[in-house]
Amino acid sequence: QVQVVESGGGLVQAGGSLRLSCTASGTSFSIDHTDWYRQPPGKQREWVAGMPGTGVTSVTGRFTVSRDNAKSTMNLKIDSLKPEDTGTYYCNVRGLRNIRGTIYPFDIWGQGTQVTVLA
């Protein structure tokens, strides 16, 4: 099966930058799209940025998504951090997996990584 793990969260000062990583592991799979979401404390999960599997870099405001093919890792860089960026950040990966010659779609979420921005 395919697994997704986020990393890179932590405690940071406002105005700084942070890079989160999302690593997919498994056998015989390809990635169609990766999205980053976040869930602020007490609020609903919201979309932050995303990129198709064929992309290299995608910029949405202060958020840059980039891909490291060799490591099946998708990164999210957040610039000019604000206290309102605080929350749990999740990676969602969608793609295809080959199981004994049959192609199956998958849609997997990571467990999340916590980001806390201090004013």
According to the 3-state scheme, what is the secondary structure of 24-85? Answer: EECCCEEEEEEEEEEECCCCCCEEEEEEECCCCEEEECCEEEEEEHHHCEEEEEECCCCHHH
pLDDT at site 72: 83
Give the per-residue pLDDT at 65: 93
Residue 52 is predicted with a pLDDT of 84
Q: How confident is the prediction along the chain (119 residues), in pLDDT tens digits per residue?
A: 899 999 999 999 999 999 999 999 999 999 999 999 999 999 999 999 998 877 788 888 999 999 887 778 999 999 999 999 999 999 999 999 999 999 999 999 999 999 999 99
